[in-house]
Amino acid sequence: MSRCLNKATLIGYLGADPEIRTTSGGARVVQFSLGTTRRWNDRDGKPREKTQWHRVLVWDSLAATFGFVEKYLRKGDRVYVQGEIDYRSYETDSGDTRWTTEIKATDVLGVGETGGAERRSGRSTRPAAVAGEAELQPAL
């Protein structure tokens, strides 16, 4: 018997506020970019880092998760995301076929204080370096 698993687990920082869209069929989806940074030292001992950006989608069929992302998450918030990797293609206006990779989230949790808690308390808990995507703080 063959078993398969398609599971993605990420901890990172939101690169922008989540965006909500409605499909032509009336379903709603919230999308956000999640940055994960890996740091290491090269052979010469020089510090290196690489940030990768992940497109994350949460469909409204997951009402509690969708509502949490919609209501509380903002740019710079640190979150845990679990879901599956999905590849899809689309056609550009010029007729070219493009491929995209997305994470279809099943769980999204705030790690530390989220933007909602930050706004309620009136104080900032975001790292100072999370001013732009290029200055992303490292994920675990």
The full DSSP string for 90-106 is EE-TTS-EEEEEEEEEE
Q: Is 107 helix (H, G, I), strand (E, B) or coil?
A: strand
pLDDT, tens only, 112-130: 754 544 443 343 444 433 3
Whether 11 contacts 36, CB under 8 Å: yes
The C-alpha atoms of residue 140 and residue 128 are separated, in whole angstroms, by 18
The C-alpha atoms of residue 12 and residue 128 are separated, in whole angstroms, by 15
- Rounded to two decimals, what is the model's pTM? 0.74
Strand 97-110, strand 47-59: pairing: parallel
Residue 133 φ then ψ, to 5°: -65, -35
Amino acid residing at 58: V
pLDDT, tens only, 32-84: 999 999 999 999 999 999 999 999 999 999 999 999 999 999 999 999 999 99
What is 8-135's CATH superfamily? Answer: Nucleic acid-binding proteins (2.40.50.140)
Whether 107 contacts 83, CB under 8 Å: yes
